[in-house]
Amino acid sequence: MPARGINHVDLTVSDVARSIDFYTRLLGPVGFGEYDRYPSYRGSEEVVYFRFGQQYLGLRPADGGAHHYYEVGIEHLAFFVDTREEVDDAYQRCLAMGANVHYPPELDRDIADYYALFVFDPDGIRVEVACAPGV
């Protein structure tokens, strides 16, 4: 039986409330919202899950340390939206909240009609918001 896709990804973050605020402000207007909260398998914290289509993003408190871009771990998360206007609107929300924008919205040089912005979340995890009608 073939795999059907990625169901969820959990991130460990330094401040769950701050990350909830960031992801809600960035992606809430395009349907990304808190779905549920569950105790972790360790029983010492809870995982907050957001739903985006049929995929889920979990946020749980880190035991310590920090994420460093391009070191071992996740390089970036990408979220697809329907239109370039939604990408542009997400960029405006990034500016309004003072987020660390890596690249403002632009067309990809290699993939036709691929329009994206990149921003770092509060822990330095790079997040992409993209529109790609042909992908």
Tell me which amino acid residue 111 is.
I
Average pLDDT score, the chain: 93
DSSP, collapsed to helix, strand or coil, labels residue 131 as strand
Q: What is the pLDDT of residue 102?
A: 98
Q: What angle (nearest 5°) sits at the alpha carbon of residue 93, between those of residues 89 and 96?
A: 135
H/E/C letters for each residue in 60-124?
EECCCCCCCCCCCCCCEEEEECCCHHHHHHHHHHHHHCCCEEEEEEEECCCCCCCEEEEEECCCC
CA distance 100 to 20: 16
- pLDDT(126) > 80: yes
pLDDT for position 54: 87
Query: Domains in the chain, please, with CATH?
Result: 8-64+74-131 (3.10.180.10)
- What are the tens digits of pLDDT across the range 62-91? 998 888 988 888 999 999 999 999 999 999
Report pLDDT for 85.
Answer: 97
Alpha-carbon distance 135 to 131, whole Å? Answer: 9
